[in-house]
Every structure is written in structure tokens, then in C-alpha cells.
Structure 1
């Protein structure tokens, strides 16, 4: 809600000087001119796309069209809901690959969640690549393992409209950006699967894992964990401690699961 955001910024700017107040006023003016100060500024765009897609039964295609419409509108390439809808024509057939990008510390349930998904054509696991080299706990060749994983990801996405799972912790934005670069090159639909669990729950699960990580390693992962923001992928699924998708972002149906 940009109205709330600007109200908070204006309150803070009172003590920050005239330049800060001018920045807030300038931003609010542009947001108002763009029609973005309402509680649901993209609802008109969403409704227009819903109508345009009609009975499109492919949820992936619908969500990819919605991501394209938002991006085109935000970038200023289109100025109306009708034009944003027209920008999605090439994506409506669903002839693009899909990337399911798992995000979360060790033991958070990423692999378990992915194992329950249907229609997966390939899975790239960095732990499996380390195991093939001798030990999944051996971190000395991480750069080589990552390069091999990215090569396999690129090959799998290039095979047509396949669905590929990237199974790694992906704790930070830099790690995720390398995966996204491959996916963007292959014009893939990117879905972040962010697996949320408390530190206590992760510690409990780690103790019962077949391949537990040292406690200090898990603590380090939790300190470094920088979850992705909504919008850094075409859509985001949030998986709770029960292993189910509890919330979503970036879906055309607005959170219905």
C-alpha cells in the first residue's frame, strides 16, 4: 500500500530535513499520477487480464502472463490495462520451461516438498552433485559443483517446456541471481518456493536427518538467510512448517491455492 508507505516516509522525513521531505513529496506525486495510491493499485490490471484470458486452463501460463503484464506496466512500456493484456499473447500457450527454485536453510523441508510435486521433469541438487564426487558434506569444490549444477539446469530448461527443480539452500540474493540468469536466458517461468521454519524447528529436524549438518553450520545459515522479496521471481510460494503452501504472491488468482 503506497499510501501507507508514503505516510510513514513523510513522518520520518520531518526530522531529516527539507531534501528528504522533497523526496517524499516528489515520490508521492508520481505515485498519485500513476494511480498507485489505492490499497490495491493493480486490481484493475488483474481484472482486465482475467477477462482477456477467459477460460485459460493452464495456471502456469496465466501466472506468467500476469508477471509479464506487471513488468510491462511497471517499466512504462504500456500505460493501460488493455495494452498490458495484449503484451502477454506469446505466453498464453504455455510453451516455455518452468523453474521451481527452492529457498531455505538445511532441513527446512525443501526436498520433501519438491518430492510431492507432480510433473517434474528434472531435478538439480547440489548435495547430490557433491555426493557423486565422494561426500555431500565436502564443501571444498563448491565452485565446480555450482558450475556443473548451472550447466545441468541450462540443459534441462533448454529441452523445451520442461519443469525443473533447483534444490539448494539459495540463502542469498547473489546465489539466486546466478540461477535466475540461466532461467531468464531460457525464458523460463521462475517460482520461488520459500520454506519457512523457526530456528528451534530446524534444530529439531536436523537431529533426525539422515545427513545432519553440524549445529554451527546451521546457525551460520540462519544468520546469512536473506529471503527473497515478492517480485524477485515471477511468483512465490510460501511453505509453512506443515509442508504445505500457506501463502502465495504473484499468482493471477490473487492468493487462491
Structure 2
């Protein structure tokens, strides 16, 4: 912050050391992991997209930890994920009216959809927020059961901040699930317009509050991320080994079959 003194000198020294390590590790290039990604894509050419993406996520993690530096080591690190025998979680995140439920309805290969709005409706009123704690606990229990059974699950809630998302991810990690974030990105004016014609509109001040609290996830919070535009299609991805197989004209990811027959997107 421009302040002099021993503390500032020590901080600058740490910055210099970090830059030196980053340069030696080859991380200052525009796409430092692209050689590893390209090599892994070739080595895993026979896998389905879900298994390949899970292996790629493992390769990124072990590379960051300094445990893998070559394609061969990355292939070995992801060996346990190659058969695709793991559950899947598609975690939706976005304000009310951003199109989460409509996007979820177009996904194929989904075994279970957990909607907190539906759980509130089953208790008597979708708009009743008084039992949110009980609703969340019920939803998390259903999630744990479904992932333990090896299912593909969609979590349909606003999940506006990292804390809310972490409660879901804690269970997914415990069950070794492939975690996909589907981030719904719609501008404020369009959200306001949609809210006036929704079957279940929220008060304008509630929508405004959601927009102020919305903190979209960083790519590293999940194994892979789909960015869904106002048209309901996946317009960009992160964390996919074969990104071109996710981006396509129809919008919603297709179901592929992994070698063991487990359904993926």
C-alpha cells in the first residue's frame, strides 16, 4: 500500500520470491497448463467426458501441490477415476429468475433433482422462509443419500455465496462426486423483467438483495464450471478436458456413457 518500513520490505521480498518461483515453474505464460492439458487429452482419448474431466481436475490439483509435472504422472494420479464409477453433482447458482430450473429440466441423465423451493412447497408454502434451516437439512440429507447410491444429482437453489455452496460441496467431496457448477449469468434488467411474468415472482427488494449478495464461484471451487447465458445455453466452460464437447448449439449438455455404463452429462 505504499507504506515504508521493515514490514513492507519483507512483503516485497516475498513478492520477488513468488515471482521467481512462478517463472521457474513456467506459470507466467499465457496458458501455463496447456501442454499438460493437451498431453492428458491425448492420453485419455478413450474416456467419456465425465471421467476425463475428473482426471483433469485431479491432475490440476496434484500439479498445484507439486506432485505431478509430467503427463505420465498426471495419468497415474487420476487412475482411480478412469472407470467413471463415481456420482455426479450439478450445482446450480444464480439469483431468482436466472433460469436455473429451466436449465435443469433440459439436462439429460439426471437421476435426482433437489429443489429447495419444492421442499418448501411440500411443507405448505414455497414463499415461507421460516423453516429454511429444516428445509436445507432435508435437502442435504437427500443429496447425501443420492450421491451415496452413485446417482447424478442436480442441486437447484440460488447458492449465492461460497458459504452456501460449501455446505453442498462438503457432502459431494465426501462421496467423491464429480462437481460441476452451472453458473446462470443474466443481467439485472432482464432479471427484473422476468420477475414480473414468473409464476412465482419474488418481491423486488428480495431480488435486489440477492443481486447484492451474489458472489459467482471461482472456477477452482468445482471440478468444472459451465457458464450459462440469458438464452439458457452453455456459452463458456472451465475445467473441461474436451470443452468443445460441452459447447454446442442446443445449449444443454448431452448425456454420455462412460466405459462402465454410468450415465454422465
Distance in 1, matches of 2:89 and 2:32, equals 28
Unaligned runs of 5+ in 2: 248-265
1:189 to 171, 178, 201: 178
Q: What secondary structure is seen at the aligned counterpart in 1 of 2:220?
A: coil
Unaligned runs of 5+ in 1: 1-11
Matched, 1:29 2:26: no
Number of aligned residue pairs: give it.
244
> RCO (CA 8 Å, sep 6+): is it higher in 1 or 2?
2
Aligned partner of 2:208 in structure 1 is 219
Q: How far did residue 70 of structure 1 move?
A: 0.5
CA RMSD for the aligned pairs?
1.6
Deviations 1:38-85 (A, max 9, x none): 1111012112211211322x1111111100110111112223332112
Q: Is the 8 A contact 1:13 1:20 kept in 2?
A: no
Decide whether aligned partners of structure 1 residues 140 and 24 sit closer, same or farther in structure 2, where only a CA change above 3 A counts.
same
Matched, 1:145 2:157: no
2:44 to 41, 53, 60: 53
Distance in 2, matches of 1:77 and 1:254, equals 25
Q: How far did residue 23 of structure 1 move?
A: 2.4
1:40 to 27, 31, 37: 31
Deviations 1:195-229 (A, max 9, x none): 00111100000110101000010000000001000
Distance in 2, matches of 1:137 and 1:155, equals 26
1:97 to 73, 87, 98: 87
2:167 to 178, 186, 195: 178
Deviations 1:68-124 (A, max 9, x none): 110111112223332112111111111000000000000100000010111110000
Distance in 2, matches of 1:226 and 1:49, equals 32
